[in-house]
Structures are given as C-alpha cells and as structure tokens.
C-alpha cells in the first residue's frame, strides 16, 4: 500500500468511526483502566484519544515519506526501501489476531507494528552509527498506543515487530558491512531539514501528557 492509499484508508476509517463510534465505545470501556500517567481532559477525553489514534496512524505515512528522502540523500535506498516496504505492507495484511476488529482499531494496531519496527531499526542504527535512521522519538506515543490496544494483544504485536526488525537487520541492514560510510551517516543525520517535517518533532503528546513534570517518564507497562 502506498502512502496515498494509506492516507485514504485512514480518512475512510475516520469517517466510518464518526458514523458508528465503535472505537470510541471501546476507548470508553478501557479508559478507567488506563495507566494514571496518561493524562487527558475530563470533558472530551474520548475525542482526544480518537484524535491521538488518527494522528498516530497518519504519522506512518509521513515517516515513510521522510525515510524515502533520507535514502536518496544518503544513497542507501536499498536499505531504507526495505523498511518503507514493510511499513506500508503492514497495512496490506491483517494478522489473525486482529480479525473482527473495526477498521480504525485495525489501522491503529497495524500502525503500532510499523512504528515499533521503526523504533527497533532506529535503535540498531543508533548503536552502529551513533545517530538514528530517522530523527524522531515515538517511544511515549508507542507506550500510550500499547495501553489503548491492551494486553495481551499489544504484547503479541510487539513480538511481530521485533521479529520483523530482526529479519530486516539480517537481510538488509547490516551496518557492519561498511556500506554506510561517514558521508552516508552524515546524510542520514543531517540530510533533511526537520523544520520541513513537523511530524519529526511532534511526539503526539498534545492533550496526552505522559509523566508531565517528572524528570523521567514512568513505565506504563
């Protein structure tokens, strides 16, 4: 699925949710059990959560576009395209675990897998190159979505993402092969202007304040 189709699917799912309110009802049921570190307004908490889910899912398309540009700038399209292809392909296949869920819930879970794969790939790049492949940090947002999906399903999705990231590393992302020279690493770190990509500085925490006022964000597992 390309990013144009993905954005269209997200918009269709949002419109369908406006009509049937299925995810809103699901979020209403789980809201009392959400970790206390997740703060939200009392009056329109469900609307804020729904907006959060939609923007979180939209960010996959935005990150895919950024990754494509990074690949061109750093002359490593073969490697970035492997990540891009998985992230977009995640929306073409529905794991058995997600059968029977409504459209927006399914997109949220598929986006979670894609974001977690990018998170794992970023960690690998940071260890090897001392810079992430894509300059963003979705850790807090991923933790919140993990809570919204709920266990044990979210834990199963984590395992899927981890296995995919490990396979990508074995097949495409062997940084120790020397393919990523110092110039490529500089391009990965500085090849795009972050100000042109607000998604890279948006942690999706608007209206959802995780650990506000604390020196470190608490674990919500």
Q: Are 58 and 7 in contact (CB under 8 A)?
A: yes
User: Please, which pLDDT band fits residue 218 given cuts at 50, 70 and 90?
Assistant: very low
Instruction: State the first-to-last Cα distance of the chain, in angstroms, to the nearest integer.
Output: 31
Q: What pLDDT was estimated at residue 35? A: 79
For 20-30, the pLDDT digits (tens) are 999 999 999 99
187-191 long-range CB contacts below 8 Å, 24 or more apart?
187/70, 187/73, 187/74, 187/75, 188/70, 188/73, 188/74, 188/76, 188/125, 188/129, 188/131, 188/133, 189/129, 189/131, 189/135, 191/69, 191/70, 191/73, 191/74
Q: pLDDT tens digits for 37-70?
A: 787 777 888 998 998 899 999 989 988 888 888 7
Q: What is the pLDDT of residues 146-156, one digit of tens each?
A: 999 988 889 99
Mean pLDDT of 203-213: 47
Q: Which secondary-structure segment (H or E) carries 210? A: strand 209-210
Q: What percent of the chain has pLDDT over 90?
A: 24
pLDDT number for residue 213: 37
Q: What is the pLDDT of residue 101?
A: 73
pLDDT grade for 108, boundaries at 50, 70 and 90: very high
pTM of the model: 0.83
Give the pLDDT band of residue 16 (cuts 50, 70, 90).
Answer: very high
pLDDT at 179 over 50: yes
Model confidence at 219, pLDDT cuts 50, 70, 90, reads very low
Per-residue pLDDT reduced to its tens digit, 111-144: 999 999 988 888 877 777 677 777 777 888 888 8
Q: What is the average pLDDT value for the chain, to the nearest integer?
A: 77
The whole-angstrom separation of Cα 54 and Cα 16 is 12
Distance from CA of residue 102 to its chain's centroid? Answer: 19
Each domain of the chain, given as residue ranges in start order, spans: 3-210
CB contact at 8 A, 69 and 188: no
Structure tokens at 131: 């810079």
Confidence of residue 204 (pLDDT cuts 50, 70, 90): low
Residue 76 has pLDDT above 60, yes or no: yes
pLDDT of residue 207: 42
Check residue 186 and give its pLDDT.
Answer: 56
């Amino acid at each position: 699925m390309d990013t144009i189709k993905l954005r269209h699917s997200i918009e269709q799912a949002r419109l369908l949710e406006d009509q049937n309110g299925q995810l809103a009802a699901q979020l209403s049921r789980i809201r009392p059990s959400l970790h206390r570190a997740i703060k939200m307004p009392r009056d329109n908490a469900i609307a804020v959560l729904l907006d959060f889910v939609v923007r979180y899912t939209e960010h996959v398309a935005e990150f895919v576009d950024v990754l494509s540009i990074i690949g061109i700038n750093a002359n490593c399209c073969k490697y970035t395209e492997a990540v891009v292809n998985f992230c977009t392909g995640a929306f073409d296949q529905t794991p058995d675990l997600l059968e029977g869920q409504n459209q927006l819930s399914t997109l949220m879970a598929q986006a979670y897998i894609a974001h977690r794969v990018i998170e794992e790939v970023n960690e690998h790049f940071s260890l090897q190159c001392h810079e992430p492949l894509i300059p963003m940090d979705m850790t807090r947002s991923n933790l919140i979505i993990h809570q919204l999906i709920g266990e044990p399903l979210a834990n199963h999705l984590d395992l899927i993402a981890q296995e995919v990231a490990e396979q990508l590393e074995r097949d495409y992302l062997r940084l120790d092969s020397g393919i990523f020279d110092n110039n490529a690493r500089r391009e990965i770190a500085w090849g795009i202007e972050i100000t042109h990509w607000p998604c890279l500085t948006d942690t999706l925490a608007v209206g959802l304040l995780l650990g506000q006022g604390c020196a470190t964000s608490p674990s919500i597992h």
